[in-house]
Structure 1
Amino acid sequence: MRVVLTGGGTGGHIYPALAIAEQLKTDRPDTEFLYIGGKRGLENSIVPETDMPFETLDITGFRRSLSADNIKTVLRFLKGVQASSELLEKFKPDVVVGTGGYVCGPVVYAAHKLRIPTLIHEQNAIPGLTNRFLSRYVSTVAVSFDGTQDQFPKAKRVMYSGNPRATTVHRANAAEGFRLLGLSQGTPVVLVVGGSIGAKAINEAMLQMVTDIVRMPDVHFVYVTGKRYYEEAKRSLEEAPWVMPSNLHVLPYVERMPEVLAASMLVISRAGASFLAEVTSLGIPAVLIPSPNVTNNHQEVNARALEDDGAAIVIAERDLSGESLLRAVEAVVQDEYLRLRMAECSARLGKPDSAAVITAELRKLAVRAQAIRRGAL
């Protein structure tokens, strides 16, 4: 099978696409890929690290207010459709997969015009503008959160698939996570993370809470500041008038996050959809601080979905402090019954077979398209 993947801007759009590719490669090693990304997104640093052919388009998103820039966006979209058509006609894919971000728009729309089967994957509980637009044109819409299927009323077919990133992380080795952290296997680990860049509000609350983690001496805190905030956090800790707690590990970034996640008993984080898929695939309780600075406040909707099912405690950023964070952490760490119940609820929400569900749908779409071309349907 020949597959075009497109998704860009953030890791939350890129890693699900790569997880789908990984599953397809596992099922059929002879599968061929082309990844089409935007010129400005993280895909430019992430995708080239794979052995996948990579092409880019110059594409931007619409501003939500009246702006002359929107005229440029329309022109870039039309040019993007033409460029995508040329790439698709040259590569001749059996199916095109979009996992979000502005770049999906022209690529998936061009595939529709060329009558190539298409699937888009929506990571969030509230769909993005690009996927809303594309849903009426694609063969299948796959959603991460069960119950959000009705968000795409104009789609031909909507399926609950979960997030394919869950499949990748579900395979992670906890023993390797403990080894990477230099901890003995079975050490209770609380992972604090704000994403690859970091989250200022989480960092501030964590720095306020640091002096109190000595009240949990058997628990090891892995505090991932994000690259942007590492030097500032390190300096604050070094200049503080108290001794650094021995049960604190401060890092700018974790290269092998799946293994570290697998070794964790509790996660404190934002509520990006792909990261939540990773957390639930491993059945980890979470304290979530959704970012208020995202479109449609979708992170809070993501987080509340876990909270409603008993898998997470949610703290709104406006209510976040060292004290409120400490209360939430102690509530989970010190109550084994609550922790085990949250872990069970988290695992029930996890969908570790997500990538396999999506790739099965892709094969069906490809087979049907081939049958139509042969005149068998």
Structure 2
Amino acid sequence: MDAFMTLADVWYWILAFLLWLYVFTDGFDLGIGILCLLEKSEARQSVMIETIEGVWHANQTWLVMLGGVLFGAFPLVYGTVLAALYLPAGFLLFALMARGIGIEYRAEVADKRFWTRTFGWGSVAVTVAHGILLGAILQGMAFDGLRYVGGVFDWFSPFTILVTATLLCLYPMFAAAWLVLKTEGGLQDAARLWGLRFGSGAVGCLVLLVGYIALDGRLGHLVGRPGASGLSPAFILLLVVAVLNAALYFRALGKGWERRPLMYCASMLFFVFLAFGTSLFPMIVPPGVTAAIAASPEPMLRIMLYVIGGFMPVVLFYNAYQYRVFRGKAVPEDEV
């Protein structure tokens, strides 16, 4: 039993790591789509999309890995939670298709406006679906054994709205940092302004979100205090570190640095994940489904550890190689 619990815990943190990688890398992809809706110049839109054309497929591998780990290591979560959230999950699938179709078809047509909007609004829709799914799971789901006993629209709440608003600011913040690294000239200057605006919005939404959690005792499980209001010291400490990284992000933008804004985005997200992950552990679906309850039998977890453990370095190398191949700045043909 101890070994089983240990393996379940290991897979809990592997899942959290994969989720962090997906949210960060696909986050700036989606943020590019959102920012394309704000940029009116078609030439600049082309440069923005060019910065991710070489890597966005690689970024999607983390979503595939997430689905595989969830299906193999935590079948209870895969089989029951996703079924309970079939409306936002279905919306996510259609949004992913719209976003992908938009970015692929845009490159093949002369008049790019329709497909640019398809890519942009598809990115918004994916972000909204992310917020709803993440918020619905974090706020807690009602299960009686393996049976979901909640309502069809329990996922719609002030908490999920706040989570969605946070992601709608966070992803463009990541994208702005990416554009600062990958572009130059007027577009880079615009990206710095977007970074300041959306970064301020993301920090503000995060503060509102944490305040809401602190006041609502039903969400106490998110900060390691089930059934109680207020924030735990460990949760506060990790969020303070996250906010300090956000401050360093703003400073890096102001100093004109190119690489550091994206690095601080990654580290800020890491500490936000660590704050919630350590507070929730060992729960994988609050308020009562732990990693041990949701996990596959020990032999399955052990086999998966060997297989995924051997496959993970390959995926990491593939992604790193993609970024190396497509390193450098995206330079427009004409002055934009």
The structure whose residues are more often helix, as a share, is 2
By relative contact order (CA 8 Å, sep 6+), the higher-ranking structure is 2
Q: Computing the radius of gyration over CA atoms, which structure comes out larger, 1 or 2?
A: 1
